[in-house]
Amino acid sequence: MIHVIATIELAPNSREVYLTEFRKIIDDVRAEQGCIEYGPAIDASTDLSNQAKVGPDKVIVIEKWADVAALKAHSVAPHMQAYRVNVKDYVRGVHLLVLDPAE
C-alpha cells in the first residue's frame, strides 16, 4: 500500500467551486481498482497553538492506493481526464507526496 498526500493550489477565492467539481468524481475514484481511501480535506477550526494551516486557497487530498500501478491507472482514468478539464481554470498547481507506510 502507498499513501498519497496531494496539495492542490487554487486560484484565489475558488475553493468552493473547485470542491463542487471535485465531489463529482469521488465515487468514481473510490470505485477504481486499488483505491483504498480518497477524499478532500481543508483546515479544521481548532484552538491548537501548533496547528499549521494550508489556507483558503488549497485543498489537501488524502489518498491510499494498493500500489503505484493503481495510482498510475487512476491518473489516466477517463473521469480524471474530464475532471482536469473541468477544474483547469481553478488549479494553479499540484504537489504530490507518495509515501510508503513505515510500520
Is 84 contained in some domain? yes
- What whole-number distance in Å separates Cα of residue 60 and Cα of residue 5? 7
Is 92 contained in some domain? yes
Contacts of 64 (CB under 8 A, 6+ apart): 1, 2, 3, 4, 35, 36, 37, 38
Is 48 contained in some domain? no
**Residue 28: domain span:** 2-43+54-99
pTM for this entry = 0.94
pLDDT of residue 74: 98
**CATH number of 65's domain:** 3.30.70.100
Q: Report the run of H or E that residue 30 belongs to, with start and end.
A: helix 26-30
Is 69 contained in some domain? yes
Cβ(2)–Cβ(100) under 8 Å?
yes
Is 49 contained in some domain? no
Cβ(22)–Cβ(87) under 8 Å?
yes
Q: What is the pLDDT of residues 63-79, one digit of tens each?
A: 999 999 999 999 999 99
- pLDDT, mean over the chain: 98
Q: What is the pLDDT of residues 45-66, one digit of tens each?
A: 999 999 999 999 999 999 999 9
Q: What is the pLDDT of residues 8-32, one digit of tens each?
A: 999 999 999 999 999 999 999 999 9
Number of domains the chain is built from: 1
